[in-house]
Amino acid sequence: MKQERVGELYILGEAALWGLFPVITILSYKVLPSMISLTLSTFLSGIFFFLITLYRKKLYELRNPLLWKYVLYIVFFIGILFYSFYYFGLTKTTSGNASILSLFEVCTSCIFFNLIRKEHFSFESKIGTVLMVLGATIVLLPNFSSINFGDLFILIATFCAPIGNFFSQKVKQIASTETILFLRSLIATPLLLLLAYMFGQHLHVAEIKESFWFIFINGILLFGVTKIFWLEGITRISVTKANALSSITPLFTLFIAWIVFTQVPTIWQITSLVPFFFGVLLLTNNLKLFRSVQSI
């Protein structure tokens, strides 16, 4: 199997699993504040990655100073800036607005990787990217309201992620996935806890016990396995393409929410299946818009 196809499968797997994240997080929010939930999930993922790193005898990779340099960049741009702007934005805007505006990351990734970094992006992939954004917008558009400062912070967050993903690609060339993610979680956890306290959120043992299984699923499956899939994926395909493929996540979220919360999909959500379907076909090279004409 070609490496590009393997990368696509990793990202699609990540998108499917990540569809659980909003549902599990909402369930954990019934007891825990948002940043505390994020901190504990990151902490558990750190333990998960540490055990894998220990089992695979990769701890020696931590002696590489270049690894620390790249991971510090990743933590800064994604762990601190992205999540800080995103979570603060959520306190000032609706989840519908945030979901739509976060799709702008496809555009910022395209600007950074294709225009600035000069990465190749086929015509079919560009059209596929547009269709993926269109599909996600159709899903979320009915919930969109007016622009406010929270929306501005969400938009700023989307400019931080591509830089962090750029360093994620670079660091994968010098270290294993589990070591990178262990170090990222190790550094990010205390910083996220500090941010939580800055936002006036505090740890309480009783609340942790009540939400343990939700945090466990987030930490091990969503902040653990999906991060492995994402990092493995973006080392095989472009970040722009990976972001576009990940735009299918809202569909998985809607399906899970239908089962858990008995929220029946709307006509808008069903309609979004059309651009999603063709977007995935174009991005995975299973559909070509132009084919060369063979001379007879």
Name the pTM for this structure.
Answer: 0.73
Query: CB within 8 A of 27, min separation 6: which ones?
Result: 211, 214
pLDDT (tens digit, 9 = 90+) per residue, 135-192? 767 766 666 666 677 778 888 888 898 899 889 888 988 999 899 999 999 999 999 8
| Residues 222 and 103: beta-carbon distance below 8 Å | no
Position 43 scores a pLDDT of 92
Position 97 scores a pLDDT of 63
Position 295 scores a pLDDT of 38
Q: Which residues of the chain have pLDDT under 50?
A: 292-296
Instruction: Give the burial string for 209-242 (b: 16+ CB within 10 Å, else e).
Output: eebeebbbbbbebbbbebbbbbbbbbbbbbbbbb
Position 106 scores a pLDDT of 73
Position 292 scores a pLDDT of 43
